[in-house]
């Protein structure tokens, strides 16, 4: 079956996209997929082949691409491999070859007035060990401080995300920790917190670290229905009440906030980093 | 101070790298930083400016770049903005302009035989809502099943990472969940598990989902020292014992495994996805 072309709903064979890398494949996937979002109607099969570091491995990959090409539409090949020898082999496959790395490196050599070192991709290796360890420590911190579980060490936090339940605090915290090494805690706002417009007591010393999330009542109600169907917790009235009060609390305490209803964790994170000036 | 150039240890002013995007900036950072790893000696200041969607915003960004350029070395500018109007403005700054998007899109239009839709970056938005929700659900699942906390629903896992304490299970699980939507549990191997070479009982029905991590005894001992200094847990003898037995257990049960001692979570994840054929 491996050589049978996948056929889309309309009966048209689906082209395969290969993401090729001498390292993890993350950069090839990231830029390749970004470019492909410009063609949303195009159905595609995706396949990542990481850790291609030798000419022999490159020849095997070319054979794989050529087999796919022989039995269906011409594949797309996005490559970030660094070695000129490996690239020269990969460029000979029957696919459309996109050299995402080579296209820019000579311009960069000119701009910096020095030569690329030619070593295989180091961007997603351990690299800077201090930075890497800070990311790993941030993941642990995020798990320990998820959902207000531990109020110990809130003073260590660089950021405290606050919001009613199910507005996106947990995955955003995890993303900021894992990708940016931000020591991020999160703290749930519950009905009792809205008796006054003051911040919940554990947060008061740390108001300047707080960032609020809000959502649309209908959207929040849908999400809560999945967790506890037909509960008061998931009712539109309850969601409306909590979100309105949370927004009032943010405004009363000058807490910056964003409506996360239609945003991804990546978009929420980019917004938080920008507004809180938190880039490392 | 904003206009003062940062000065490196050798007294040379440090160039600033701008990552410009109409969306999160993730793609610009990812490819830009990948290219810059080829120049490891180069000290750089990094600055991401996301969500540049209008010509007016682009003009403000150019003014910022030009201020930096006026008081120090010529900045580097990596851009993934899609709109030709916005790009045309950004390209006029005093920095070296790298058009990471435009450089490839016309080749891709030819390959696919259709036109790019020209909409601002959607790669890190919610995009495919089903895929996005599966990533968010996987993050929750990873938190619930971290460190063998919950053996409920191990049958739902697509992957169970197993290893002695501090080999990288938790951050790898989190990465696979957040970036790839993999339902990943992890399970710690402890001394009592090594009385026999059989898998721990809760894992036996799921051997084909298991992937093992091991490490170097000295490296593991260093990491454990940070958590519990001068403990038996952190001793070289104990680490050696646990890692040898874990590796024997993996081999005895045909569990694929990797030595994570010098690998990043991204590299471990790429290896696990490839060996377990887990790409979504």
Mean residue pLDDT across chain B: 91
Residue range A75-103: mean pLDDT, rounded: 95
**Domain for residue B123, yes or no?**
no
Phi, psi of A146 (to 5 degrees): -70, 135
pLDDT at B41: 86
Residue A2 confidence (pLDDT)? 42
More reliable by pLDDT, A8 or B184: B184
Q: Are residues A32 and A171 in the same domain?
A: no
The Cα–Cα gap between A145 and B146 comes to: 14
> Which residue from B36, B108, B178 is facing A35, i.e. has the nearest CB?
B108
Cβ-contact B69, B89 below 8 angstroms: no
Asked if A48 and A143 sit in the same domain, the reply is no
A266 to chain B: which residues are within 8 Å by CB? 24, 26, 124-125
**Same-domain status, B147 and B249:** yes
Contacts of A266 (CB under 8 A, 6+ apart): A175, B24, B26, B124, B125
* A94-109 pLDDT tens trace: 999 999 988 899 999 9
Measured between beta carbons, the chain B residues lying within 8 angstroms of A267 are: 23-24, 124-125
Q: Residue A274 contacts by C-beta under 8 Å, 6 or more apart in sequence? A: B48, B49, B50, B51
pLDDT, average across residues A158-185: 94
Is there a domain that residue B107 lies in? yes
Are B222 and B163 in the same domain? yes
Half-sphere exposure of residue A219, counting CA atoms within 13 Å on the CB side?
A: 13
pLDDT digits (tens, 9 = 90+) for B76-92: 999 999 999 999 999 99
Other beta carbons within 10 Å of B236: 14
Per-residue model confidence (pLDDT) at position A10 = 53
Question: Is B120 inside any structural domain?
Answer: no
| For residue B195, pLDDT beyond 50 | yes
In this predicted structure, the answer to whether residue A4 has a pLDDT above a threshold of 90 is no
Q: Could you give the CA distance from residue B260 to residue B269 in angstroms, rounded to a whole number?
A: 10
- Per the DSSP assignment, residues forming a β-bridge with B188 are B163
Asked if residue A136 and residue A271 are part of one domain, the reply reads yes
Domain endpoint, select from A112, A142, A174:
A112
Do A144 and A237 share a structural domain? yes
| Spatial separation of the C-alpha atoms in residues A69 and A95, rounded to whole Å | 7
Beta strands in A123-251 (DSSP E): 159-164, 184-189, 210-214
Domain-located, residue A6: no
- Report whether B82 contacts B22 (CB < 8 A): yes
Average pLDDT in the A171-179 region? 95
Q: Does any domain span residue A97?
A: yes
pLDDT band for position A128 (cuts 50, 70, 90): confident
**B112/A42 Cβ within 8 A:** yes
Report the C-alpha gap between B211 and B206 in whole angstroms. Answer: 11
pLDDT at residue B153 is higher than 80 = no
Nearest C-alpha of chain A: how many angstroms from B266? 6
Does the pLDDT of residue B136 top 80, yes or no?
Answer: yes
A1, A34, A87, A170: best to mutate for the B interface, most B CBs within 10 A: A34
Q: What percent of chain B has pLDDT over 90?
A: 78
Contacts of A178 (CB under 8 A, 6+ apart): A135, A138, A139, B171, B174, B175, B178, B265
Q: Are residues B165 and B252 in the same domain?
A: yes
Please check whether residues B270 and B163 belong to one and the same domain: yes
User: What distance in Å separates the CA atoms of residue A80 and residue A19, rounded to the nearest whole number?
Assistant: 8
A174 neighbourhood in chain B, CB within 8 Å = 139, 143, 174, 178
Q: Is residue A124 part of a domain?
A: no
Q: How many CB pairs under 8 A join A and B?
A: 206
Nearest to A51 by CA among A104, A121, A111, A129: A121
> Closest Cα to residue B96, out of B34, B36, B27, B11?
B36
Same domain, B99 and B152: no
| B27: nearest CB among A34, A42, A74 | A34
Helix (H) or strand (E) holding A77: strand A76-79
The strand pairing partners of B49, in sequence order, are B20
pLDDT tens digits, one per residue of A20-51 = 999 999 999 999 999 999 998 888 999 999 99
Please state the domain count of chain A. Answer: 2
Neighbouring C-alpha atoms within 13 Å toward the C-beta of A43: 11
Output the domain CATH number for residue B88.
Answer: 3.40.50
Copy the structure tokens of residue A11. Answer: 């009966």
Tell me whether residue B176 is in a domain.
yes
**Does A165 belong to an annotated binding site?**
yes
Task: Give the minimum alpha-carbon distance from B38 to chain A in angstroms, rounded to a whole number.
Answer: 5
What does the pLDDT average to over B103-130?
A: 86
Q: What is the pLDDT of residue A1?
A: 38
Q: Is the pLDDT of residue B2 over 60?
A: no
A110, burial (CB in 10 Å: exposed 0-12, middle 13-18, buried 19+): exposed
pLDDT at residue number A11 = 60
User: Has residue B148 got a pLDDT over 90?
Assistant: no
Residue A253 and residue A224 in one domain: yes
Residue in B with minimal Cα distance to A181 = B171
Instruction: Measure CB to CB from residue B143 to each of A30, A31, A143 and give the nearest one.
Output: A143
User: Both tokens of residue A268?
Assistant: 């929420």
Residue A9 included in any domain:
no
pLDDT digit string (tens) for A200-245?
A: 999 999 999 999 999 999 999 999 999 899 999 999 999 999 999 9
Domain that holds residue A66: 16-112
**B188 lies in the same domain as B265:** yes
From the list B24, B38, B116, which residue is nearest A267 (CB)?
Answer: B24
The H or E element containing residue B187 is: strand B184-189
Question: What is the percent of chain A where pLDDT is above 70?
Answer: 94
- Which residue, of B47, B79, B112, is where some domain finishes? B112
User: Does residue B133 share a domain with residue B58?
Assistant: no
Boundary of a domain, candidates A112, A137, A152: A112
Environment class of residue B56 by beta-carbon count within 10 Å: exposed (0-12), middle (13-18) or buried (19+)? exposed
């Amino acid at each position: 079956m491996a050589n049978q072309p996948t056929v889309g709903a309309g009966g048209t064979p689906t082209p395969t996209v290969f993401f090729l890398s001498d390292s993890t494949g993350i950069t090839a996937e990231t830029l390749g997929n970004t470019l492909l979002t410009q063609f949303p109607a195009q159905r595609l099969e995706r396949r990542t082949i990481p850790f291609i570091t030798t000419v022999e491995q490159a020849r095997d990959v070319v054979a794989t691409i050529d087999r796919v090409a022989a039995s269906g539409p011409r594949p797309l090949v996005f490559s970030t491999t660094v070695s000129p020898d490996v690239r020269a082999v990969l460029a000979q496959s029957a696919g459309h070859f996109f050299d995402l790395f080579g296209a820019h490196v000579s311009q960069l050599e000119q701009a910096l007035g020095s030569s690329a070192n030619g070593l295989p991709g180091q961007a997603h290796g351990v690299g800077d060990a201090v930075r890497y360890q800070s990311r790993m420590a941030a993941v642990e911190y995020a798990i320990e401080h998820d959902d207000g579980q531990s109020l110990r060490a809130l003073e260590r936090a660089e950021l405290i995300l606050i919001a009613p339940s199910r507005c996106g605090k947990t995955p955003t915290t995890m993303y900021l920790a894992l990708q940016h090494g931000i020591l991020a805690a999160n703290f749930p706002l519950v009905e009792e917190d809205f008796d006054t417009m003051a911040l919940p007591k554990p947060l008061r010393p740390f108001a300047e670290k707080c960032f609020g999330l809000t959502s649309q009542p209908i959207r929040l109600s849908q999400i809560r229905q999945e967790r506890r169907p037909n509960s008061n917790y998931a009712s539109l009235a309850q969601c409306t009440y909590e979100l309105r009060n949370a927004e009032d609390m943010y405004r009363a305490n000058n807490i910056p906030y964003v409506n996360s209803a239609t945003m991804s964790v990546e978009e929420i994170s980019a917004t938080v980093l920008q507004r809180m000036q938190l880039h490392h």
